[in-house]
Structure 1
């Protein structure tokens, strides 16, 4: 899928679920999960392993921080796994943000942080499902076009 298609899919799946959550009176949960989901959909996606992608462009002048990540990552390699891919991206960001965290020492509500993490992981996993990666077993099949284009 193209980046814009992943974004459209993720947003179209989340919007009705968020509406149900708000309708059920879970506004704070929807905000926390939604924040993680939007961050994972728009800014910290499995496709950051590509030099040119929508998520990197959204970082604007800060997109340079993802250059080492995409240079060290093979597209659809480790970045397209269900556990290690998302965790590597989060650890990568954590290392970069550590000076700010150390400076400001924010108080973190672990319950809300878990909800944000759940939203982030949901966005990552939907991306992987859309690319044909299943949690266990099956890898995406190569298309006929890819097989016939090989030398």
Structure 2
């Protein structure tokens, strides 16, 4: 493994991504086929088919990824289902370049990442998404949250 990827792997472990549970809804059996940089995360990404029988897999997930590389309409419908009537953790769409032009807020996704993203970008997006999610949960529970060292 080249030195750059070794440093990224050590960085992600030091920054707390290791403890995340990530589910990816995809027809692929291996996350590396969809998002090669996910292979370098210290978190295991579980691939599940995007069918109703597997929607309960999100129950204890920290982040849900949706493979939107092929069928954008189905990806949109799945995002809307998961973020609407279901209690779903934050959703990240995995997209090809052209797909980003059509994503809208009504999809219900929290973020997106290009399929060719680097391990550092993917790790940063996961960390930021997790932090936003934790702040939102704390606000919902009525605990005050500071934005920095000074309030």
Normalised to the residue count of structure 2, the TM-score between the two structures is 0.29
Which one has a bigger Cα radius of gyration?
1
Flag the structure with higher helix content: 1
Flag the structure with higher strand content: 2
Normalised to the residue count of structure 1, the TM-score between the two structures is 0.29
Compare relative contact order (CA 8 Å, sep 6+) and give the higher one, 1 or 2.
Answer: 1
